[in-house]
Structure 1
Amino acid sequence: MSMFVNMRKRYFSDPAFKLFKKVLPPLSDTEREAMEAGGVWWDGELFSGSPNWQTLHNYPKPSLNAEEQAFMDNQLETLLAMLDDYQIVQEDKDLPPQVWEFLRQEKFFSLIIGKEYGGLDFSAHANSTIVSRIATRSLSAAVSVMVPNSLGPGELLSHYGTQDQKDYWLPRLANGTDIPCFALTGPEAGSDAGGIPDQGTVCYGEFEGKEVLGIRVSWNKRYITLAPVATVLGLAFKLQDPDGLIGDKKDIGITCALIPADYPGVEIGERHDPLNLAFMNGPTRGQDVFIPMAWVIGGQDYVGRGWRMLVECLSAGRGISLPALGTAVGHLTARATGAYAYVRKQFGMSIGNFEGVAQAMGRIGGYTYMLEAARTLTTTSLDMKEKPGIVTAIAKYHMTEMARTILNDAMDIHAGRAIQLGPMNYLGHHYFGMPVAITVEGANILTRNLMIFGQGATRCHPFVLKEMEAAANPDTEQASKEFDALLSKHIGFAIKNVSGSLLNAFTGSRLNRAPVSGETAEYYRHLSRMSRGLAVAADFAMLSLGGELKRREMVSARLGDVLSHLYLASAVLKRYEDEGRQQQDLPMVHYALQHCLHQCGVAFDEVLSNFPRKGIGRLVRTLVFPLGIHYPAPKDELSVAITKGLMTPGAHRDRLTHLCYVGEKESDPVAIMERAFVAMHEVKGIEKKIAEAVKAGEIPRKISLSEKLEIALSAGIVTKDDVEKMHNAEQLRQHAIQVDHFSAEQFKQGGLQPGKAA
């Protein structure tokens, strides 16, 4: 070892090592398992300070194979035509029996089960696309389909089950003989899955007339989707072995087992009422229920490994199911609100022409483009067999929050049309359902404040996790050597990012490289600057706060917001390239990217202004933003352009909202609005002729449309065919803007059937 290295170790890295061990205590067992269960993907590039954008472009373009596309075109379309969401939610409080049977027969519950067991073995992208499209039609149906294909017995068995368990259960789950649920959450353990209070004890007991080794378990679970109709119960509990029957460890840890729902002692079948939606959700209980050891998922070798299993599977499911629901809201609101904003008139013109409405419409269109981009990029990671826990947490939190925002915008624009429930209302049940998406699979507050940066800072940083592992090494001499090498690299990493941040500030990011030319090139440069800024801020936060950073949730949440919006912006850029740089999409692309940069700036400003160590906050601001943070919100002109696109039929609008189910039946609610929208566009030229005649004084202004048309026909301004088209379009328009109503007697009796719209 050279003299320089010896001196560096003695006077610098060894004291730093002692300080590091003091301020950054070793990972707990559960934290370590969570870190090891997740992988680093594009999030690692964003955390590096110098993301390789070509890596992003080289990721596969999301697509459906022939089998998946055929399923979408046939089984899925058949299912959508069978669904009547008003009947499901308001009348039956359940999916119709024929729908349940169709879901079983056509293997909607086995999208992720391997073909060797009779499942469909679809990609994550196909799984997400199917759930999204169903969700535009019925959230209750979408939740019923997504849960067996997310965290649950099917996925856990596929990854960890014994061969006997797979051979028995997976074919039954694939063909619909069994309906699964997974009981994880309870009154005392929601997002904190590690805090499960339900207990099992290793013991001997009687099973099928023989004394066998097993577990006596008690549980009290709540909020379990599909529990009321499940035939097999996946159960997570903490296992103890006080008598040492299977080893020396007394507290074994979280364990997962599979129990038939009709097994003695299992209580199941009651229902919750999840905000008046109709998907099956309810409690399950059991007291001192004895189960054989063979029912542990993975067998005895997997006792105590449930936390790792849950973290791995939950992170994958979190990247599919809830983002799919959020994306569905985007597709539905963009298509339906664009149509309504054109059809609904106020003061003689379409309400979408008012700037106040256009502002909200711009947000709907811009967010919808971003939602679909994030959905497809996230499923790409899963189909690459990555385990990106941070990426899926970002997708879950931000996509459900964006959906909540644009659903509120759509409700505001529709006004009275949206708040009266009935068969014609295509927004009401989604409005009820968004808090469900916000809450499940990791409540959003916890996901934002603890997971995204709290885990991401350690997992994605190129050196911190390795440094923490070195600190935990009991071989002090070896640990000191490892730490010295890592610290040298870490210091070089920090110096590079600090100098790069200052250079970016004084050059306006112009020296950063962009992999493309054209209108999006500048965004790559600015996002690279934000990546450097995040790397600098993260290093200072971890160094100055140490273990306290875990408790400084407002700090970690805001730094997580920077990482999240870097990821969302990346998704937008990737989608724009994948889809052939569609020029008509540029208003939405600009809107989304300006929004992401603005949100990064807001997050940086808030975290640095409120940093617990005031001097550190001022120092980081000086190093990263010495000239100020200048990233404004999206320009108004973009909102106007997006609104115009949403109110114009054509390939551009169809591409943006391609997952939205319209339907062909007379009663399909979105179809009612769509028919009026198309008809009104077809008579746009005729309306213009009438308006010009009114302006010229040839037709009185304040008379009915029928009277105007009669005068125009007599004056030769329009033809008889024009008049017929106008009357037809107006009839469709009037029908589309109405709301359902019910008799007082129907309210008293329940089972509301709508009266004829006025």
Structure 2
Amino acid sequence: MSIFICIVAVVALLGVLAYSRAPLWWSSLLILIGAAYAFYQQSLNPIVLGMLIALLIILNFKPIRRALITGPLFSIFRKITPPMSQTEQEAVDAGTVWWDRDLFSGKPDFDKLHQYAKPTLTAEEEAFLNGPTETLCAMLNDWQITQKDKDLPPEAWDFIKKNGFLGMIIKKEFGGKEFSNYAHARVVTKIATRSGSAAVTVMVPNSLGPGELLQHYGTEAQKNYYLPRLAVGEEIPCFALTSPEAGSDAGGIPDFGIVTRGSYTDPRTGIAHDNVLGIRLTWEKRYITLGPVATILGLAFKLYDPDHLLGSKEDIGITCALIPTEHKGVEIGRRHYPGTSAFQNGPNWGKDVFIPMDWVIGGQDYVGKGWKMLVECLSVGRCISLPAMSVATGMLSSYTTGAYARIRSQFGLSIGRFEGVDEALGRIGGFTYQMDAAQRLALTGLDSGEKPSVISGILKYHNTEKMRKTLNDAMDVHAGKAVCIGPRNYLALGYHAIPVAITVEGANILTRSMIIFGQGAIRSHPFVLRELKAAMNKDLPAFDDAVISHIGFAVSNLVRSCWLGLTGARFVSVPVSGPTAQHYRDIVRFSSAFAFLADMGMATLGGSLKFKEKLSARLGDMLSNLYIATAALKKFNDDGQPTEDRPLVRWAVETALFDCQEAMNGFLANHPNRALAWCVRKLVFPCGMSMRQPADTVGTDIARSLMEPSASRDRLVQFMYRSSDENDSIGVLEHALKAVIATEAIENKLRRAQREGKLKAIVAQARLQEALNQGLITAEEHAAVVRARRLKREVIMVDDFDAQLMHADSEAIHRVIV
């Protein structure tokens, strides 16, 4: 019996050591002590004891271990590891690893999460957001821009240029604003709640493009000439990467340049130059934002040096150059028409266009380094522009749909009181909270010097997908008002433009199925990159250290996920107490499970996991939803844990963790090794899949907070442009909402009087006058109801046009028939 107890004790203690990630020699010492005790009790054969001691020696003494175990494994690993292309290698190396590494560790450090600075605006940034940005928004009429002018009005273009909107990221020494990434994102968000076309116009020069590339890689001459001109809008930049034959496959760019000597006339100075070293370019690009109106063209192409004018290498690689669009041979000006958006976007091309070598961004020293330059900048840009527009859509949907659901009534009730609408409102508010939280955390990283490339992929995919979901729900609630486009319709134009955000900066299908986990598994995993580098460098000692640590890491996460699953993670120590404490514990549990499943997938599928995109996508979903859940908790904590926001943070976290669990379920259900998947499921979900979607009451609480002026709603839509003009299609909502709320009791009294037969008139206006005449309501109440009904009608009216759909009837509000 004592031997049985000894075995149980040793196994239990091994579990404790694995859970706490103790070093290998601790576990070896424990096994040795247990074996010695069993031998002493004459329950262990001396031969078995000797074999066990030999095994422990092999495992713990590195020279022997490398000779017998990791050395042969190293040879196999080097043979089966698929080679990386240059573009894949540069994408993996791009950016930095940040909070995503903690999530991959299976043991996230929440103290570190809370120590990250809360993003804030400087006084200058806040003044710009509340001053020029508000002024610009007031100048914009999205219906006029998209349906009539097909461009921003000239006064808006002029205002954008003169007030430095195109130079927000440019340093002050060059005349720019030098704003934080957080301020840049908030400016884009506010503009996007007013006009998507204007937001794109502002965001592109401040995102992936010449301005950012020049600041990081430009020569001093390039910086000194172009950056001051870009900062004040004297130059309009665009960057041309996508070709008809190569979108996501940057390595397949057909556009090429040949190093040669030639002559050209500089369009900026009119001076001719003869027999200079340069590049003869041929290219065809499309989908280039600001391309039709750009004055300088950033161009990505493959560079070849067949005459070895630069050195011994013929295939130089992807290179980026900056070309004045007035340069001879540059064809530019035609436009694409992306959805209903009217931002400038179009193709450009050129054949045998000669440019001097000093037009290469960074000069001759940076030829062949273009792809690395681009992915480095993309790891920043993808955290800002499209996620900011997604947040804007969430804020717009939350604000307008909440108000509309309270103002619009059916069967004598605000439609928001019906549970179907209530459910949609809960999703709208919850997804908006998720999107804003996810971007806020990423911006914190950017402004602390990080370039979180994996997180940027998470934001690009999940924020734009949630934008699609929130706007779909908003359209459903608004129903016919949203279906029929017109000046009053504040949703449809954005709805039609959704595919633009879904497809640009890495199409969402690609981002989810290949990039998030494909890049995350290598960059964010504690050991995979070390193993790959050791294999590439033929470094057996480094491989030995990494692979032994990796095995211990996997075993630890297996034990942790099983134990945390059995106990519901109730005994995990977390840095907070109260209603969100269990959320932190659940994240620890799912982080351990994710880390183990990631290792299980890589170990069993090896290099083929790269091509099993459905499984890779689900692993990416696990990582993404863990990030979203932690970002929501960080936002809630940064905001001071307001009681009114508890439904929002609960919905955001519980939905993210439920989605994470569903991804795990899908991964195990579709893993090709069915027996292994069955065993792993029992370990990861020992008590079954316990995570549930948020309770209906949580969504109801969110819906109620959106249907009235509240502190929670104001925080959620803080950076939305909110006109106070009653004649504005969105500005009227707040006036109508307050008026409807103020008169709800009066309207209820009028309905009761009608049911009781006190009011007999058929027409509503006549019944209202009848109530006043009978003294059922006061003159002040009558006036309040008249105003509320007028504003309500303004909100619910749908535009109608003449027979040619050219002119909307602006007087339709006064056409009251019944």
TM over 0.5: yes
2:651 maps to: 591
Shift, 1:613, TM fit: 2.4
Shift, 1:632, TM fit: 1.6
Shift, 1:756, TM fit: 3.2
The worse-fitting range, judged by mean Cα deviation, of 677-686 and 361-370 is: 677-686
Give SS of 2:730's match: helix
Report matched runs for 1:425-464 at 5 Å. 425-464=489-528
2:24 maps to: none
The worse-fitting range, judged by mean Cα deviation, of 70-79 and 488-497 is: 488-497
Do residues 740 (structure 1) and 799 (structure 2) align? yes
Shift, 1:718, TM fit: 2.2
Report matched runs for 1:667-706 at 5 Å. 667-694=727-754, 697=756, 699-700=758-759, 703-706=762-765
Instruction: Note the aligned Cα RMSD (angstroms).
Output: 1.6
Report matched runs for 1:705-716 at 5 Å. 705-716=764-775
1:662 maps to: 722
Shift of the 506–168 alpha-carbon distance from structure 1 to 2, 3 Å rule, reads same
1:323 maps to: 387
1:756 maps to a residue whose letter is A
2:546 maps to a residue whose letter is L
The worse-fitting range, judged by mean Cα deviation, of 79-88 and 189-198 is: 189-198
CA deviation digits over 1:318-376, x for unaligned, max 9? 11000011000000000000111011111111110110111111100111111111121
Contact 1:699 1:708 in 2 (8 A): no
Shift, 1:7, TM fit: 3.1
Q: How many Å separate the matches in 2 of 1:659 and 1:647?
A: 18
Shift, 1:715, TM fit: 4.7
Report matched runs for 1:247-396 at 5 Å. 247-396=311-460
Which of the residues 551, 560, 570 maps onto 1:491?
Answer: 551
1:219 maps to a residue whose letter is W
Report matched runs for 1:402-481 at 5 Å. 402-474=466-538, 479-481=539-541
Q: How many Å separate the matches in 2 of 1:400 and 1:110?
A: 25
Instruction: List alignment gaps of at least 5 residues for structure 1.
Output: none
1:166 maps to: 223
1:742 maps to a residue whose letter is F
Q: How many Å separate the matches in 2 of 1:568 and 1:335?
A: 22
Contact 2:799 2:808 in 1 (8 A): no
CA deviation digits over 1:97-116, x for unaligned, max 9? 11111111001001100000
Contact 1:173 1:179 in 2 (8 A): yes
1:24 maps to: 81
Q: How many Å separate the matches in 2 of 1:188 and 1:338?
A: 44
Q: How many Å separate the matches in 2 of 1:656 and 1:541?
A: 38
Give the total of aligned pairs.
750
Contact 1:26 1:471 in 2 (8 A): no
TM-score when normalising by structure 2: 0.90
The worse-fitting range, judged by mean Cα deviation, of 155-164 and 624-633 is: 624-633
Which of the residues 708, 712, 727 maps onto 1:648?
Answer: 708
CA deviation digits over 1:70-124, x for unaligned, max 9? 1111111110111011111111001011111111100100110000000001010
Shift, 1:413, TM fit: 0.5
2:52 maps to: none
Q: How many Å separate the matches in 2 of 1:48 and 1:447?
A: 22
2:787 maps to: 728
Contact 1:422 1:754 in 2 (8 A): no
Shift of the 702–609 alpha-carbon distance from structure 1 to 2, 3 Å rule, reads farther
CA deviation digits over 1:556-594, x for unaligned, max 9? 100100100000111100000000101111111111111
2:140 maps to: 83
Contact 1:323 1:395 in 2 (8 A): yes
Instruction: List alignment gaps of at least 5 residues for structure 2.
Output: 1-55, 265-271
Q: How many Å separate the matches in 1 of 2:63 and 2:709?
A: 72
Do residues 533 (structure 1) and 603 (structure 2) align? no
The worse-fitting range, judged by mean Cα deviation, of 656-665 and 50-59 is: 656-665
Shift, 1:711, TM fit: 4.4
2:108 maps to: 51
2:30 maps to: none
1:120 maps to: 177
Give SS of 1:741's match: coil
The worse-fitting range, judged by mean Cα deviation, of 707-716 and 581-590 is: 707-716
1:398 maps to: 462
1:192 maps to a residue whose letter is D
Contact 1:26 1:469 in 2 (8 A): no
1:542 maps to: 602
Q: How many Å separate the matches in 2 of 1:202 and 1:307?
A: 18
Give SS of 1:233's match: strand
Shift of the 754–223 alpha-carbon distance from structure 1 to 2, 3 Å rule, reads farther
Which of the residues 557, 573, 580 maps onto 1:520?
Answer: 580
1:188 maps to: 245
Contact 1:742 1:754 in 2 (8 A): no
Do residues 204 (structure 1) and 261 (structure 2) align? yes
Identity %: 53
Q: How many Å separate the matches in 2 of 1:752 and 1:217?
A: 49
Shift, 1:462, TM fit: 0.4
Is the radius of gyration larger for structure 1 or structure 2? 2
Q: How many Å separate the matches in 1 of 2:702 and 2:786?
A: 29
1:718 maps to: 777
Do residues 613 (structure 1) and 681 (structure 2) align? no
Contact 1:217 1:287 in 2 (8 A): yes
1:74 maps to: 131
Shift, 1:215, TM fit: 0.4
Q: How many Å separate the matches in 1 of 2:674 and 2:453?
A: 32
Q: How many Å separate the matches in 1 of 2:236 and 2:595?
A: 46
The worse-fitting range, judged by mean Cα deviation, of 716-725 and 76-85 is: 716-725
Shift, 1:189, TM fit: 1.3
CA deviation digits over 1:658-697, x for unaligned, max 9? 22222133432111222211211121232243345456x2
CA deviation digits over 1:377-412, x for unaligned, max 9? 111111111010000110110000001001000001
Give SS of 1:137's match: coil
Give SS of 2:282's match: strand
Give SS of 1:648's match: coil
Shift, 1:2, TM fit: 7.9
Contact 1:26 1:468 in 2 (8 A): no
Contact 2:799 2:809 in 1 (8 A): no
Contact 2:759 2:771 in 1 (8 A): no
Shift of the 276–709 alpha-carbon distance from structure 1 to 2, 3 Å rule, reads closer
Q: How many Å separate the matches in 2 of 1:446 and 1:532?
A: 26
Shift, 1:300, TM fit: 0.3
Give SS of 1:633's match: coil
Contact 2:517 2:616 in 1 (8 A): yes
1:40 maps to: 97
Contact 1:699 1:711 in 2 (8 A): no
Do residues 178 (structure 1) and 235 (structure 2) align? yes
Contact 2:740 2:792 in 1 (8 A): yes
Shift, 1:755, TM fit: 6.1
Q: How many Å separate the matches in 2 of 1:166 and 1:395?
A: 30
Contact 1:366 1:592 in 2 (8 A): yes
The worse-fitting range, judged by mean Cα deviation, of 646-655 and 541-550 is: 646-655
Give SS of 2:645's match: helix
2:367 maps to a residue whose letter is V
